[in-house]
Structure formats: C-alpha cells, structure tokens
Chain A
C-alpha cells in the first residue's frame, strides 16, 4: 500500500515532479554517456597508437627525441638473427621502420617532413592498412619513389607523377639529396603523418640515408597486449644499451591521463546535475509534505508511526529516483549500445579539427567505438536512486515531526 500510495502521490503532481525526474535522468545519462565515451576515446587513442605509430612494443635508439620533427639517423639499431628469430617466435608480427626528417623540395617551395622508411613485406603485419586511403601506388610498390601524405601534397601542390627533391643527412652525417617521383598520395589515419609525412620506398631510403642494416625503430604486435611489458624487457636486453624500449601503455600514458581528466570533469558535471536533482527532489518532497499536512495528520491518527511517515515520503523520493534512474540508464544505455555496435564515424569531425588546427599529432582512429557497460549503467542508476533517497530524508523527517493533533485539523 505504501508503494502504491507513494507512486500515486508522485504522479498526482507530475508537472512539478517531472523537473526533478529530468534532472535524475540527465545526471544518470551523463555518467553513462561520459564514461562510455571516455572509455571509447581511451581505447580509440590506444588503438590508433598501436595501429599507426608504435605497435604493442617499440624499440628505438636510447635518448631518442620525443617531440617535434627530430628524427636522427646517426645512431641506428640493428636486429641480429637471434633477435629476429626470437621476435618471429614471440610476437604476432614485427617490423622495422626508419624515421627521418628530410626536406622535400618542389620547385621554389620546400618543407621539412616526417619520413617513414618501411619494410613493405613485414610492415602490414604490425600496422594494418584498413584505415588507409591510397591514391596512386601503394607504399609496398614505391621502390625508389615516395608516397606523400595529403597534407604535404596540398602544401607543395604535388600531383601524382611529379618529381621532388628529398634532402637529408646520411647515417654518417653527410648531406644527401635525391630526385624522387611521387607515385602515390596516402592517408594513413595518423594525423601527424597525414599532415606533414611521407613514406619513402626502401630503395630510396637505402640510397638517401645509407643506413646499412640499421633502423631507427623496431615495432612488434603481440597476441595479448598485456604481455607488452615482459616482451619489451626481453627486447631491451637483446638490443643492448644503445636501445630503449617502450610499450603501448608508456606511449599513450599522457593521452590516457588527459582522458581521465576529461572523465573527472564529466563526473563533476554528472555530480552537479545530480546535486540539482537532489535539490529538486528535496524541494518536491518538502512541498508535498507541507501541502499534505492534514493527510499526514490523518495517517498518524490512523496509527502510522513517525517512522512510517518518513518511510512514506522517502518512498516517494525512491519512486522518483527509480523512475528517473531507470529512464536515464535505459536511454543512455540504448544510445551507447547503438554506438558500441555501429561505431561513430569521426572522419567529419577530425577533418574539421584538422582544418582548424585544434589537434596536433595525436593519433585518432576514424571510427570511435564507445564502451557499452551494463555495470556502469547499473552503478549510475544506483547512484541516482541513492541521491534521490538521500535528498528526501530531510523533508521526510520534517513531515514526521508535525504534531498529529494539529496536523489532522490543518
């Protein structure tokens, strides 16, 4: 009967209660959406980092610069046969990339670029091409030619078949410059690469840098990314003091922490919304109590205890909380499920951001797969209900303190 009474009392003044309900719905939804999106962004960043930059484990020369267009080639790594065999056995795939920073000249224009020299046979085993869009020849067929990014093509007004000059220092430090034909324009999904990057065919790299067996980076993909730490340690010991290794976790740490800050901000917004909901519910229950003084007196006369009055009004808060929390969790959960299954195409947004220059070289996958988490939905709903119940306790206590003899004749 209490539950029925509470439910009907809530619906009796639905115009007023709907505001409180909307606040609960919004608060719960922000928790579910915020956590789902932030988790999705975190995974997106990790996936983009793994798929386009580092793989799960990365080795590079010790003290390798981590910012800007500094890609020295004077202290390269070499992978001996034993290490190569070990990498073959222990990883799902591994490859060598040599990064360098040549100047590309076309006619009177030139720009410094980030160049990647890769092994056409092993590179796809670590870096999938699913997000690549290729115009002209694929990088595997570049040979002594270059494949430029859309950004470089735009800045230098390069078209397929154009010949550019690529200037760089060799691994020995000498200045070298070669003519190279642009055989392709490739978008890789890595914003930094797509803005100022080129891919150099292996023969061009060999002639331009003269690295011998050396390479600036070794990247490996694992069957289980949680094994990255142990694989990195073993690789470190095999490559010696001249190398430093890092895992996908090390490489994304700063970005993931930024996402966690974003998560905290979203949680704060959810907290503010639920605080508003709590205020609304407290106000609603308080108004209900003062509007129903005679009813409270009558119930007390009929034998309802003070605790019973508290229970009745808290139940009304509970009903509002449950309705709002369930609605909020279901609506936001349905949206998250849809986005988790279908994904969100980030390409238009990324294109806009790229135009506006609002993001730098952070790798972002074009498809965002948000996290659909029933546990988060349940947790958010329980939190919303708890807020509603707590908010109704004080006005319920006030209602229970009304002297029945006065209340019954109010």
Chain B
C-alpha cells in the first residue's frame, strides 16, 4: 500500500494496532494492520471469533481509535482528530448497518432515516423527502410511519440500510447484517446492498460469517490473531444472490 492514499481510496489503515490491558494481560486485538479499501468495493472482513474483525470495523468506523498507527477516511488522517470531528465524519461519511438493526424504537421508519440526515447537518427543507425516497428505494414505500416494533426483522434491516445510505456516505460498514435474518430475507437484504453497490457505487465493508455474503464479496480480507493473513480479490461474482 502506498503511503499517500490514491484518490480512489476511501479508507486506509496504516500500521494500525489496538491493544487492551497491559503487562502480562496485554492483548493485541489488531497488530500492525495496513489495508486500504477503495471506492465501490464490496468487501468482506472474515476470520474466526477474536481475530479482530470487530476491532477493525470500529477503527474504520471511527468508533474507536488505534493504540498506534493511522486511520484515514477519504484522505483525512483521523488518529489525532478530536471526538467532535470524528463524530462529524461518522455523521457525514460513514453509514452503519448492525446485526440487531439498532433502530430507535420510539421513532417511525421515516423518522429513523431522517435522524441520520439531521445528525449529518443536511438541510432541513428536504430531509423528509430524502428519507422517504431512501425508504422507497429499499421497498418500504408503504411503511414510512411504522415504528420498528411494527416491522419484521427484514423490514427493520431495510430501514437500517436506508438510514445508512440516505446521506450518501463514502463508506457503509455492515456488521453481520444478515445474522438475525432467515436465509430468504437475508438474501433479499444482500440483493439490496449489492444493487446499491453496483448502481450507486456505494462502498460496503462487511464483517460476517454468513457464506451467502462471502459468496457475493468481490474482495475478502482474512484476519487471524489481529493480523491480515490473506487479501483475496475475486472476479466473476454473481450480481444477485442465486444468480
């Protein structure tokens, strides 16, 4: 990896190390990891439990900072940034999709999506319309005003996808997005994300054990014991699940 990120690099880790504890209890969750993710990639981070997948996603998502090393998002080196600036980058550049959907239960579907726009400081006058368009794009045009507890798991995850995408982020981080869904629903969710990737060029970074997701990934970064052990780039991946 080059020291200076190329224009297509959305996110780059350079010698990123994350340790917990000290002395005899020191644990390296990530150990000198250098990896870059380019615009439009559909990448899976794979590895056994404890390999550092979640820690890597936390670094890339700016939810955590490395003990040493650098993390750059769209060319901006972040390890020295103040929490307020990190929050602003998360709000404007990064979308999150979680295993447990993580919708705000007291807000309707459209309000959940709108909240992401509000936090990204998007102009107020068209926030509602943008939120509705994002929900319509994931097939939830009829469910704007339903609360999360009135939606199925698959529908909730679609709201989460709409929430992640509505602000046109540089990067979407999806942490086990299909783990709480049945296989058919999971495939549908995956199709939506692939469509967004192919049609809009949205960059996705997954952490998953789901073989269905692994099958669709164009790039798989294998981690073990906090280190990148393989960076596999694939070709001829079907556009649609089962396709």
Point out residues on A near B: beta carbons under 8 Å: 1, 4-5, 8-9, 12, 294-295, 297-308, 403-405, 408-409
Q: In the bound complex, do residue A306 and residue B102 qualify as a contact, i.e. CB atoms below 8 Å apart?
A: no
1/0 contact string of B85-101 vs chain A (CB within 8 Å): 00110111000101110
Q: Within residues 156 to 192 of chain B, which ones have a CB less than 8 A from any CB in chain A?
A: 163, 175
In the assembled complex, how far is the CB of residue B82 from the closest CB belonging to chain A, in whole angstroms?
A: 10
In the assembled complex, how far is the CB of residue B150 from the closest CB belonging to chain A, in whole angstroms?
A: 15
Chain B residue contacts of A304, Cβ below 8 A: 87, 91, 119
5 contacts between A and B (CB under 8 A): A1-B114, A301-B96, A303-B90, A408-B98, A409-B175
Q: How far is the CA of A8 from the CA of B119 in the complex (A)?
A: 18
The 4 closest A-B pairs by CB, nearest first: A303-B91, A8-B106, A405-B63, A298-B102
In the assembled complex, how far is the CB of residue A284 from the closest CB belonging to chain B, in whole angstroms?
A: 15
Chain A residue contacts of B83, Cβ below 8 A: 305-306
Q: In the bound complex, do residue A305 and residue B84 qualify as a contact, i.e. CB atoms below 8 Å apart?
A: yes
Q: In the bound complex, do residue A295 and residue B104 qualify as a contact, i.e. CB atoms below 8 Å apart?
A: yes
Q: In the bound complex, do residue A294 and residue B102 qualify as a contact, i.e. CB atoms below 8 Å apart?
A: yes
Interface size counted on chain B using CB atoms at 8 A: 31
Q: In the bound complex, do residue B116 and residue A302 qualify as a contact, i.e. CB atoms below 8 Å apart?
A: yes
Q: How far is the CA of A305 from the CA of B90 in the complex (A)?
A: 10
Closest A residue by C-beta to B115: A1
Point out residues on B near A: beta carbons under 8 Å: 54, 58, 61, 63-64, 83-84, 87-88, 90-92, 96, 98-100, 102-107, 111, 114-116, 118-120, 163, 175
Q: In the bound complex, do residue B63 and residue A300 qualify as a contact, i.e. CB atoms below 8 Å apart?
A: yes
Chain A residue contacts of B104, Cβ below 8 A: 5, 295, 298-299
Q: In the bound complex, do residue A301 and residue B61 qualify as a contact, i.e. CB atoms below 8 Å apart?
A: yes
Q: In the bound complex, do residue B100 and residue A302 qualify as a contact, i.e. CB atoms below 8 Å apart?
A: no
Chain B residue contacts of A307, Cβ below 8 A: 84
Chain A residue contacts of B63, Cβ below 8 A: 300-301, 404-405, 408
Given A300-B63, A405-B58, A408-B63, does the pair A305, B87 have CB atoms closer than 8 Å?
yes
Chain A residue contacts of B102, Cβ below 8 A: 294-295, 297-298, 301, 408
Q: In the bound complex, do residue B116 and residue A294 qualify as a contact, i.e. CB atoms below 8 Å apart?
A: no
Q: How far is the CA of A299 from the CA of B103 in the complex (A)?
A: 9
Closest A residue by C-beta to B85: A305
Closest A residue by C-beta to B173: A301
Q: In the bound complex, do residue A5 and residue B107 qualify as a contact, i.e. CB atoms below 8 Å apart?
A: yes
In the assembled complex, how far is the CB of residue A320 from the closest CB belonging to chain B, in whole angstroms?
A: 15
Q: In the bound complex, do residue A303 and residue B87 qualify as a contact, i.e. CB atoms below 8 Å apart?
A: yes
Q: How far is the CA of A1 from the CA of B105 in the complex (A)?
A: 14
Closest A residue by C-beta to B100: A294
Q: How far is the CA of A299 from the CA of B120 in the complex (A)?
A: 12
Q: In the bound complex, do residue A8 and residue B107 qualify as a contact, i.e. CB atoms below 8 Å apart?
A: yes
Chain B residue contacts of A294, Cβ below 8 A: 100, 102
Q: In the bound complex, do residue B54 and residue A409 qualify as a contact, i.e. CB atoms below 8 Å apart?
A: yes
Chain B residue contacts of A12, Cβ below 8 A: 105-106
In the assembled complex, how far is the CB of residue A297 from the closest CB belonging to chain B, in whole angstroms?
A: 8
In the assembled complex, how far is the CB of residue A397 from the closest CB belonging to chain B, in whole angstroms?
A: 14
Partner of B90, one of A4, A8, A302, A409: A302
Among A12, A303, A404, chain B packs the most CB atoms within 10 A around the CB of: A303
Closest A residue by C-beta to B61: A301
Q: In the bound complex, do residue A9 and residue B106 qualify as a contact, i.e. CB atoms below 8 Å apart?
A: yes
Chain B residue contacts of A302, Cβ below 8 A: 90-91, 96, 115-116, 119, 163
Q: In the bound complex, do residue B106 and residue A405 qualify as a contact, i.e. CB atoms below 8 Å apart?
A: no
Chain A residue contacts of B175, Cβ below 8 A: 409
Given A301-B61, A303-B119, A405-B58, does the pair A5, B87 have CB atoms closer than 8 Å?
no
Given A1-B111, A408-B63, does the pair A300, B87 have CB atoms closer than 8 Å?
yes
Q: How far is the CA of A43 from the CA of B120 in the complex (A)?
A: 59
Chain A residue contacts of B61, Cβ below 8 A: 301
Q: In the bound complex, do residue A298 and residue B58 qualify as a contact, i.e. CB atoms below 8 Å apart?
A: no
Q: How far is the CA of A305 from the CA of B84 in the complex (A)?
A: 6
Chain A residue contacts of B92, Cβ below 8 A: 303
Given contacts A8-B106, A300-B87, A409-B99, 14 further A-B contacts (CB under 8 A): A1-B111, A1-B114, A5-B104, A5-B115, A294-B100, A298-B98, A298-B102, A298-B103, A301-B63, A302-B115, A304-B91, A305-B83, A306-B83, A308-B87
Q: How far is the CA of A294 from the CA of B61 in the complex (A)?
A: 16
Q: In the bound complex, do residue A303 and residue B98 qualify as a contact, i.e. CB atoms below 8 Å apart?
A: no
Among A4, A302, A305, A403, chain B packs the most CB atoms within 10 A around the CB of: A302
In the assembled complex, how far is the CB of residue B239 from the closest CB belonging to chain A, in whole angstroms?
A: 29
Q: How far is the CA of A306 from the CA of B88 in the complex (A)?
A: 12
Q: How far is the CA of A408 from the CA of B107 in the complex (A)?
A: 18
Chain A residue contacts of B87, Cβ below 8 A: 300, 303-305, 308
Q: How far is the CA of A132 from the CA of B24 in the complex (A)?
A: 94
In the assembled complex, how far is the CB of residue B169 from the closest CB belonging to chain A, in whole angstroms?
A: 11
Q: How far is the CA of A409 from the CA of B104 in the complex (A)?
A: 14
Q: How far is the CA of A299 from the CA of B102 in the complex (A)?
A: 9
Chain B residue contacts of A299, Cβ below 8 A: 104, 115, 119
Chain B residue contacts of A404, Cβ below 8 A: 63-64
Chain B residue contacts of A303, Cβ below 8 A: 87-88, 90-92, 116, 119-120
Q: How far is the CA of A325 from the CA of B87 in the complex (A)?
A: 35
Q: How far is the CA of A45 from the CA of B114 in the complex (A)?
A: 62
Chain B residue contacts of A403, Cβ below 8 A: 64
Q: How far is the CA of A87 from the CA of B104 in the complex (A)?
A: 78
Chain A residue contacts of B107, Cβ below 8 A: 4-5, 8
Q: How far is the CA of A314 from the CA of B243 in the complex (A)?
A: 51
Chain A residue contacts of B116, Cβ below 8 A: 302-303
Closest A residue by C-beta to B58: A405
In the assembled complex, how far is the CB of residue A175 from the closest CB belonging to chain B, in whole angstroms?
A: 89
